[in-house]
Copies of this chain bind each other. A is one copy, B any other.
């Protein structure tokens, strides 16, 4: 049973003014004719009296006196078994009808006698408080020649005392939870059914309807971007891409109400909720708790003692149910959690969406194209004066919508980003921003396009800071940022490289045109005139498992005609995935002589003993090689995410809905250190709800095994995931796929 506490957070000023209930009820006075309706789930009062007499000029109000033979409604059936499959909503674990707009659905109305000539009735759908036909929040559907609201209605079949009607909500109807009434027209008034929550229906966006702004032409894509309740989110670094499963769970019980609750908490006016552009923008604001009491609190500090570490979540369901139950923002999230939960919100309401990972993301930028890294006179990184950082990766969402508010050609995938960012314009929402416009550099259109552009296109400017504090750029890397943009492929768990949708090939004429346009639209770029470097350096490494040594290969290339003696320095740090340094643990100087027109490779080993004590709960190492040769400075950066072992997961039992099955999670500690405070969690949408288990310590080489039983609700290909989070090991994943028979 879900209890909602909408809002609940007020500033002390609002408390002072608004705590008086009499004043609260008048807070719209003088400003609005009625309070603006912003609550879908909570409605006070009756919609209608039992009988609504006609107000005729000069007529006396008459009470209702039913005459023999008067038409009356005996029952209303929402025909779920027919409607849900037609509307692709069978998976919703919800006792009420769930349908999509722009498409006909059936109702069976049973009267006290067969319909006859002269009988007249209408079906009415109401949403929110103070519903109004002019706002689309009160829609009356008629079935004869009399015209009423915009939703079409027709009688499909007469079956004795019952009539089956077909009703088609418009493709831009308000989205949310409607109340249903049937009103019989009598000679002196309207006689309506009483309020019956069983006939409430949920109306969603409809990607199957060509007139809906969320229309997706391809069936496989609809199945992926609306109906898939599990997915993967890519992480790691280019060349060493890892992934985590995420269980979107948009069909699980209570989730649809939780998504509407988010809109109610945002105080988004009900009558705007059919506008997908406004809805996704409001969603990007509400997913973070900054400035609006939203769903998730971001925390990158490594101190998660007041909540759950971001790496401990296996999916969105637990988070959304907790938020809807308490009204309090959930602790804690990092970018993939914001994106994963936002994806659930979007797919649940019917908006086609997917999670995106951008590798080497210039996050927290101010809309200019310069990510400035500062180095000291000796060439080593100057952390004290460096303000910018490059995120190993950043996750956001894309939604597939028509942009009626823009010139043609900019519809399709749009970026929306729910991770709060102080520096863009400080108001904690981002998008929708057209991906096509990003690619073309057309940054003059809403919303936040300059900011998103910079995340994928910034140049990394390397500065040397002299003794006076002056910065001089010595190198500009135009390709490091936004090296790759990944999303889950349609129909499989493989990655789909969609970088080409955001950027033209580096060096192409179109790319140059895009960058020029971006500068014309206000994105500052570095234009230092630097000589082509005759010396270059790069770092490479094989993938590294936690507890293994790191073998770096540093390659110096000398394009000049003379041998060069290079004084080099290797700096090693543990970093957060945001690129911010956690602990600096290594400094190593070395010298290399590179003959003319040759390449010299230096192998450098960093042992596990060197980095293990400094990891904390991070798994990311950052190595910077800086070098000086005469007047030239060289820099190369290598980010390594340490790989961890996995959890074993197996299922057993009869793989069929309503049959008991078992899942077993097994793990053996392969490391020579104990794992402390091990917290395990598992979930599988349509299979097993969120379960947890705790072990205070798992000794080196020790094994654990955890078995749970479950009864599948949904059929088809399904996935279960599990994660283990320890104080000294950030995350270990497991997953298993199973095909459930109907």
Contact B33 A389 (CB under 8 A): yes
Instruction: Give chain B nearest CB distance to A537 CB in angstroms.
Output: 19
Instruction: Give chain B nearest CB distance to A129 CB in angstroms.
Output: 12
Copies of chain A in the complex = 2
Contacts of A422 in B (CB 8 A): 36, 38, 267, 269
Instruction: Give chain B nearest CB distance to A60 CB in angstroms.
Output: 15
Contact B11 A135 (CB under 8 A): no
User: Given the known A-B contacts A134-B374, A272-B423, A289-B13, are A32 and B405 also in contact in the complex, defined by CB atoms under 8 Å?
Assistant: no
The digit string for A131-152, where 1 denotes a CB below 8 A from any CB of B, is 0111100101010001111000
Instruction: Give chain B nearest CB distance to A52 CB in angstroms.
Output: 9
User: Given the known A-B contacts A404-B522, A405-B443, A406-B444, are A56 and B578 also in contact in the complex, defined by CB atoms under 8 Å?
Assistant: no
Instruction: Give chain B nearest CB distance to A442 CB in angstroms.
Output: 9
Contacts of A582 in B (CB 8 A): 30
Contact A467 B56 (CB under 8 A): yes
- A741 at the A/B interface (Cβ < 8 Å)? no
Instruction: Give chain B nearest CB distance to A558 CB in angstroms.
Output: 23
Closest to A22 in B: B303
Instruction: Give chain B nearest CB distance to A563 CB in angstroms.
Output: 23
User: Given the known A-B contacts A55-B377, A405-B450, are A133 and B469 also in contact in the complex, defined by CB atoms under 8 Å?
Assistant: yes
Instruction: Give chain B nearest CB distance to A175 CB in angstroms.
Output: 15
- A470 at the A/B interface (Cβ < 8 Å)? yes
User: Given the known A-B contacts A13-B328, A423-B272, are A470 and B133 also in contact in the complex, defined by CB atoms under 8 Å?
Assistant: yes
Contacts of A68 in B (CB 8 A): none
Task: A577 to B416: give the CA distance in the assembly, Å.
Answer: 39
Instruction: Give chain B nearest CB distance to A527 CB in angstroms.
Output: 13
The digit string for A465-482, where 1 denotes a CB below 8 A from any CB of B, is 001111110000000000
The digit string for A386-419, where 1 denotes a CB below 8 A from any CB of B, is 1111000000000000001111000000000000
Instruction: Pick from A9, A11, A190 the residue with the most CB of B within 10 Å.
Output: A11
* Interface window among A76-84, A278-286, A607-615: A278-286
- A584 at the A/B interface (Cβ < 8 Å)? no
- A727 at the A/B interface (Cβ < 8 Å)? no
Task: A384 to B22: give the CA distance in the assembly, Å.
Answer: 20
Instruction: Give chain B nearest CB distance to A128 CB in angstroms.
Output: 12
Task: A719 to B33: give the CA distance in the assembly, Å.
Answer: 38
| Besides the known contacts A11-B289, A267-B422, A446-B447, 14 further A-B residue pairs in the complex with CB atoms under 8 A apart | A13-B329, A29-B301, A30-B301, A33-B388, A54-B467, A57-B377, A135-B387, A190-B468, A269-B422, A404-B520, A404-B521, A406-B521, A407-B444, A444-B446
22 contacts between A and B (CB under 8 A): A13-B329, A26-B303, A29-B302, A30-B301, A30-B302, A31-B300, A32-B387, A33-B388, A36-B422, A38-B422, A55-B377, A130-B387, A133-B471, A140-B469, A146-B468, A185-B468, A269-B366, A269-B422, A281-B425, A282-B426, A405-B521, A445-B445
